[in-house]
Amino acid sequence: MGRRSYKTGPLVQGKVFKVLKKDLLSLLGQQRYDEITKKARENVKGIFRLLISVAYDKSDILCWRAIEATGIVAGEIAQSSPDVVRNLAQRLLWMMRDESGNNPWSAPEMLGEIVRNSPDAFADIAPVIASFHDELMLRRGVLRAIFRIGEVRPDLIDISGEFIMPYLRDEDPVVRAYSLLIAGAYNLGETLAFISALKDDGGAVTLYSGGDFFSTSVGRIAGKIYEGLSGKEC
């Protein structure tokens, strides 16, 4: 009897995808980024696709962990296969452009994490991300990316007080919060007077850091940044 040939149809492929995604969600829930990196070495494109598919609901902690994991995994993969990560970055940039017709979801945040984890390999992408700052739908994500990159390599993007000033006055408290964090990361001492004026800003924000959400106010962030910049000026 001849050997039977099996074909994997769309339904079976869909089940496999669901199983893989279930595994990924479990690993993200436990913040086991090392395990996700191991899986990426076996199926890097598949893991990146799954991470992108998870990173769409900003109210879900797993969305932010997927963003964080993307940078960590990309940093590891870029050491041996930079072209794979470069292709991912180009895809995310394409998603941010109007002509793509795609919802950009968390593309700017993911790009920020990629550059943060491989700043030398993807230094050229940093100013490209920043160039989208005037796109309202992308603004929060772009400012967060600028901040995250600035924490490790502030030299990659030319950020001045003039650039950040309008966003310190923005009606969106999250934008004001990220603008303050950028002022601190890029040592923008020329914005001290404006930062001081925000110390009584009661705008409530919920941000992501270190694997979890934290709630604070724009005023509290302003106080910390003002203290830090004042100390640097002394």
Residue type, 213: F
The predicted structure's pLDDT at residue 20: 85
Helix (H, G, I), strand (E, B) or coil at 214: strand
At residue 201, φ and ψ (nearest 5 deg) are -70, 115
Identify the three-state secondary structure at position 204. Answer: strand
Q: How far is the C-alpha of 180 from the C-alpha of 82, rounded, in Å?
A: 33
What pLDDT, on a 0 to 100 scale, did the predictor assign at position 103?
Answer: 66
Q: Distance between CA 152 and CA 115 in Å, rounded?
A: 10
At residue 72's C-alpha, the angle toward residues 86 and 155, to 5°, is 70
Given a cut of 70, the residues of the chain with pLDDT beneath it are 1-19, 98-104, 232-234
pLDDT at 105: 81
Domain ranges of the chain: 16-154, 159-234
pLDDT of residue 8: 36
Closest CA to 225 of 173, 166, 180: 180
- The pLDDT score that the predictor gives to residue 85 is 97
Alpha helices (H) in the chain, listed in sequence order: 10-29, 33-42, 44-54, 61-77, 82-96, 107-117, 125-130, 139-152, 161-168, 173-185, 192-197, 218-233
Supply 122's token pair: 């993807």
Instruction: Report the DSSP beta bridge partners of residue 207.
Output: 214
pLDDT of residue 232: 59
Per residue in 74-119, pLDDT (tens digit) is 999 999 999 999 999 999 999 998 655 566 689 999 999 999 999 9
Which pLDDT does position 131 carry in this prediction? Answer: 97
Looking at the chain, the whole-number percentage of residues with pLDDT higher than 70 is 88
In this prediction the pTM is 0.89
**Amino acid present at 227:** E
Backbone angles phi, psi at 17, to 5 degrees: -60, -45
pLDDT value at position 5? 34
